[in-house]
Amino acid sequence: MGAWAKDQGVTDDGMITFLADSSSAFTKEVGMELIHPGPMGKGLLGRCKRFALHIVNGVCKAVVISEAEDDPAGDDYPDMTLAPAMIATIKAE
């Protein structure tokens, strides 16, 4: 995660934290496990859906999932979870 943060230019100012979920415990707990036959048929087990959370002081204010019937992983249409859409979601709260 450190290498990814460095590649993305994320500084250690506390604004963004990169976290790994290697056992998928968090993914399963929040109901974001990708259990679609397409990706699972390709051996992609334990993968999470593409999602973004807006959390303030431990309270989840918004959950956005980027998925479509023809794109269950949200890989082709990630727009809903990218920064501009999340900023709009946060402003609308």
Model pLDDT for residues 32-47, shown as the tens digit of each residue: 988 877 655 455 566 7
65 DSSP β-pair partners? 51
Model pLDDT for residues 63-81, shown as the tens digit of each residue: 999 988 888 777 788 898 9
- Give the Cβ contact number of residue 67 at 10 Å: 20
Instruction: Report the alpha-carbon distance of residue 62 to residue 41 in Å, rounded.
Output: 31
Where do the DSSP E strands lie in the chain?
51-56, 59-65
Domain count of the fold of the chain: 1
Range of the domain at 6: 2-92
